[in-house]
């Protein structure tokens, strides 16, 4: 049985995740850089997390509609995630100086799973 999309007017809902792994010292510098970036307009819907087991790992989550499908396309190191938002691309680029960055875009399922 097919269920209707619970949020049909939302376009392509997505979750963008930017993870950075560096040293403990670079994590505090990365946090300061994030604070500056997130003061800009259009940064609502952003949440930042620190890994409970490895405090030098940070994760930035952006919620909303997916960005331009051509943005970041092409793979390759440092090119960004396919379908990433402009804000996500800016954050990922800014965090690269602090360590390894993984940037991914997740699309919400059209039909919820019964789990």
Phi, psi of 16 (to 5 degrees): -105, 130
Euclidean distance between CA atoms 110 and 90, whole angstroms = 28
pLDDT of residue 104: 96
Structure tokens at 42: 């259009």
Residue 68 clears pLDDT 80, i.e. is over it: no
Cα angle for residues 110, 38, 109 (degrees, 5° grid): 5
Q: What is the pTM of this model?
A: 0.74
pLDDT above 90 as % of the chain: 39
The three-class DSSP label of residue 11 is: coil
Banded model confidence at residue 43, pLDDT cuts 50, 70, 90: confident
Cβ atoms of 67 and 90 within 8 Å: the answer is: no
The token pair that represents 69 in the structure block: 């499908």
| Other residues' Cβ atoms within 10 Å of the Cβ of residue 58 | 25
**Helix (H), strand (E) at residue 49:** strand 46-50
């Amino acid at each position: 049985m097919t269920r209707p999309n619970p949020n049909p007017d939302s376009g392509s809902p997505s979750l963008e995740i930017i993870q950075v792994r560096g040293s403990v010292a670079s994590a505090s510098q990365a946090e300061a850089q994030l604070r500056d970036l997130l003061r800009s307009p259009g940064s609502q819907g952003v949440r930042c997390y620190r890994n409970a087991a490895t405090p030098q790992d940070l994760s930035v989550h952006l919620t909303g509609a997916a960005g331009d499908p051509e943005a970041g396309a092409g793979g390759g190191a440092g090119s960004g995630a396919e379908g990433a938002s402009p804000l996500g691309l800016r954050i990922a680029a800014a965090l690269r100086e602090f360590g390894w960055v993984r940037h991914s875009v997740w699309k919400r399922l059209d039909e919820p799973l019964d789990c």
